[in-house]
Amino acid sequence: MGEPVLSVRDLTTSFRGPQGWTPVVKGLSFDLGPRETLAIVGESGSGKSVTALSLLKLVPAANGRVEGSALLGGRNLLSLPEGEMCRIRGNEIAMIFQEPMTSLNPVLTVGDQISEALILHRGMDRVAVRAESLHILDRVRIPAARERLDEYPHRFSGGMRQRVMIAMALACRPKVLIADEPTTALDVTVQAQILDLIRSLQDEFGMGVVFITHDMGVVAEIADRVLVMLRGDKVEEGETARIFTGPAHAYTRRLLAAVPTLGSMRGEAAPRKMPDFTEGGESAGPSAAPDRSPAYHDEPLLEVKGLTTRFEMRSGLLRRVSGRVHAVENVSFSLARGETLSLVGESGCGKSTTGRSILRLVEPLSGSVRFEGREAIGMGGAQLKALRRDMQMIFQDPYASLNPRIPVGRAIAEPIVVHGLAGRREAEERAADLLEKVGLEPGMATRLPHEFSGGQRQRVCIARALALSPKLIVADEAVSALDVSIKAQVLNLMLDLQSSLGLSYLFISHDMATVERVSHRIAVMYLGEIVEIGPRAAIIENPQHPYTRKLLSAVPVPDPARRGTRPPLPAEDLPSPVRAPDFVPPERIWRTVSQGHLVQEPS
């Protein structure tokens, strides 16, 4: 490493709370060389994002305090006055954020937003700015850049918006780019494209990149060096390969062990628990596979045939149907007792709508959902209420899926009372039992949801779903919002509950590595249709459909040795499932690859 472009020493950031100043970043020091990528890794609350904000002096002065030094080109950023900092921000040091959907101003065209930085920092005139903006948009490989320059952000997909964000950040050729979870909100194939882009732009522009992420797979893909943070402290720093092969600190080892690796389950049929590293030491190793295997020979618990859900889009004065979102199109599958079927696919592929249609949270247009032999579509009133005892759902966002004003004990007891299974007192006792069952203290029943962490809340949600002793749980991205180590614990809990209660899961996820870990069978969804379905091993090891292959190859592998072996993906968006009102879905032909492994013939 040559002369570092950014040199941070003893960075300490504190926030004022009710109990005085609390340090969130404690004495962090690191160097960033030119053309180097430093990944800052840690779980939520480790202070990695605050580090980024501190370097840009974006910490609110009213209740935040930044100490230490950050030298960029010989100047200490942290002691510069605000006016001078404004000239540096976006010019010499730039940042891209996690949420591409909200980081762009919706009322300005993309071209205007890119030009703004150029006019501000480089004093270009209109004509030059336009040429330069177009050039940058080309550089971030946005197809048809000339036409898109005058479009508004809402016309861009998430991946394309992130490209625009990158274009804005790079407009003034900064020496340092800080990327705060830039790909976390994106689909895996889009993530792969953006990572490729950042890497190649880094070579072109010769800038240093601070890449903040929680995803070890992404780290292995992109980082030269890794800095691991835990609760505001740097616990380890080193070359990426060294961190992955010989992590020195126990926390790094725990973090790495908790990451599910795609392809790690070769030759195994049943799901396997994650190694359980609890706080304080590596206690239990990988536990045995769940002892109960799915009851394939009995009548399936759930049989879905030809399920179709469409949403109408109306426009114009007469509110005529101008198009339909074919969210779920002719989806069929069955689920045995005690089995986990995963629905995987990227955003907008209809996997969530499939789950919701089965639970009748949205009304399907046609098709049949048989649950224990009974037809669920068209059920009403009391029958539907009875059906809902047997099917439950766990949602993605544990912050949004609990009523903020109801203590968790009552939230868990409520369904028991509503369904008349027990009186209030007995229901509350059962709630306490359920809390214990999901690994929480029964005494926590009187607490409100905001007094719990994300992982604990997700446990509460699981306890509430279990309150009615359901047979099927639809888990819609149930662990996607959780930190890796918490994710492992919640997944293990779900697997334990499956083996002790014989639950069936419909596991909806975009995360292939997690899916591999937990499922017996996998169904891959694309544009509302299942394109490939089969036993887990068959799908992962012998994918047939081109989309399945693309999806699998885009998954970042937490192994730096395998970096660069992946063919680059072209910059393109997922096609849209919106169709004209008179669109008739084509007949699909299915091919049997092996027993139970079916693939749709690509049209």
Partner 1 sequence: MTHAVLPGAPRGALHAMIRVFNVNKTSWAGLVILLAVIVIAVFAPLFTAHDPLAQDVTRQLSGPSMEHLFGTDEYGRDTWARLIYGARVSLAIGIASTVIAMLVGSSIGLLAGWYGGRFDAVMMQVMDVLLAFPSLILGLVIVAMLGASTPNIVFAIALTSIPPFARIARAPTIALKEREYVEACRSLGYSDARILLVHILPNIAAEIVVMGSLWLANAIRTEASLAFIGLGIKPPTPTWGGMIRSGFENILDSAWLAVVPSLAILIVIFALNLLGDGLRDAVDPKLKNEA
Torsions phi, psi of 83, nearest 5? -60, -40
In angstroms, give the least distance from the CB of 438 to partner 1.
16
The nearer residue to partner 1, 295 or 379, going by C-beta atoms, is 379
Residue keyed to tokens 């992404």: 218
Query: Shortest distance, CB of residue 133 to partner 1, whole angstroms?
Result: 35
Nearer Cβ to partner 1 (140/465)? 465
Strand spans (E) along 390-496: 391-394, 472-476
According to CB under 8 A, which one of 156, 395, 505, 526 is a site residue for partner 1?
395
Give, to the nearest 10 degrees, the angle between helix 484-501 and helix 454-466. Answer: 20
Task: Write the binding mask 399 to 438 for partner 1: x where contact by CB under 8 A, - elsewhere.
Answer: -xxxxxxxx------xx--xx-------------------
How near is the Cβ of 356 to partner 1 at its closest, in Å? Answer: 8
Nearer to partner 1, 396 or 489 (CB): 396
- Tokens linked to 492: 């293990």
Q: CB–CB of 100/162 below 8 Å? A: yes
Q: Which of 133, 354, 392, 509 binds partner 1 (CB under 8 A)?
A: 392
Shortest gap between Cβ of 567 and partner 1 (angstroms)? Answer: 38
- Region of 448 (left: φ > 0; alpha: ψ -120 to 50; beta: rest) is beta
Following CA atoms 78, 81, 84, 89 in sequence, which dihedral angle do they give, to the nearest 10 degrees?
40
Taken in order 145, 151, 157, 159, the sign of the CA dihedral is: positive
Residue from 14, 396, 489, 514 in contact with partner 1 (CB under 8 A): 396
Stretch that binds partner 1, among 197-205, 236-244, 388-396, 516-524 (CB under 8 A): 388-396
Q: Which pair of tokens denotes residue 391?
A: 């099917």
**Nearest in space to 473 (alpha carbons), one of 393, 415, 531, 397:** 393
Residue listed under structure tokens 């030059």 = 128
Query: Binders of partner 1 among 461-490, rule CB under 8 A?
Result: 461, 464, 468
* 91-130 residues near partner 1, rule: CB under 8 A: none
Distance of closest approach, residue 430 Cβ to partner 1, in angstroms:
14
What is the Rg, in whole angstroms, of the alpha carbon atoms belonging to the chain?
26
The nearest distance, CB 330 to partner 1, in angstroms, is 24
Look up residue 178 and give its DSSP letter.
E
Residues in contact with partner 1, counted by CB under 8 A, come to a total of 35
Q: Closest separation between CB of residue 34 and partner 1, Å?
A: 41
Query: What are the angstrom distances between the C-alpha of 479 and each of 201, 340, 353, 490?
Result: 33, 15, 18, 7
Q: Which is nearer to partner 1, 27 or 407 (CB)?
A: 407
Contact code string over 323-362 relative to partner 1, x by CB under 8 A? ---------------------------------x--x-x-
Q: Give min distance, CB of 485 to partner 1, in A.
A: 17
Question: Which is nearer to partner 1, 390 or 433 (by Cβ)?
Answer: 390
How far, in Å, CA of 494 to CA of 474, rounded?
Answer: 12
Which tokens is 494 given?
A: 């779900």
Q: Which two tokens stand for residue 548?
A: 């399945």
User: Least distance (Å) from partner 1 to the CB of residue 335?
Assistant: 17
| Residue placing its CB nearer to partner 1 in the complex, 210 or 412 | 412
Q: Which of 95, 30, 39, 515 is nearest to 255 (CA)?
A: 39
Nearer to partner 1 among residue 277 and residue 452 (C-beta): 452
Indicate left, alpha or beta for 229 from its phi (over 0: left) and psi (-120 to 50: alpha).
beta
Q: Which of 389, 550, 563, 588 binds partner 1 (CB under 8 A)?
A: 389
| The binder of partner 1 chosen from 131, 321, 384, 580 (CB under 8 A) | 384
Which is nearer to partner 1, 235 or 359 (by Cβ)?
359
In 437-528, beta strands by DSSP E: 472-476, 504-509, 521-526
**CB-nearer residue toward partner 1: 292 or 447:** 447
Instruction: Report in angstroms the alpha-carbon separations of 258 from 155, 273, 375, 528.
Output: 38, 10, 40, 32
Specify the residue, 404 or 575, whose C-beta has the smaller distance to partner 1.
404
The site map against partner 1 for 432-461 (x = CB under 8 A) is: --------------xx--xxxx-------x
Q: Which two tokens stand for residue 135?
A: 């050039």
For residue 236, report the phi and psi dihedrals to the nearest 5 degrees: -160, 145
Nearer to partner 1, 23 or 238 (CB): 23
Q: Is 377 in the site for partner 1 (CB under 8 A)?
A: no
How would you classify the pairing of strands 529-535 and 597-600? antiparallel
Q: Give the C-alpha separation, 433 to 445, whole Å.
A: 10
Q: Token pair 């089969």 is at which residue?
A: 534
Would you say 230 or 474 has its CB closer to partner 1? 474
Q: Residue numbers of the site for partner 1 (CB under 8 A)?
A: 356, 359, 361, 384-386, 388-389, 391-393, 395-397, 400-407, 414-415, 418-419, 446-447, 450-453, 461, 464, 468
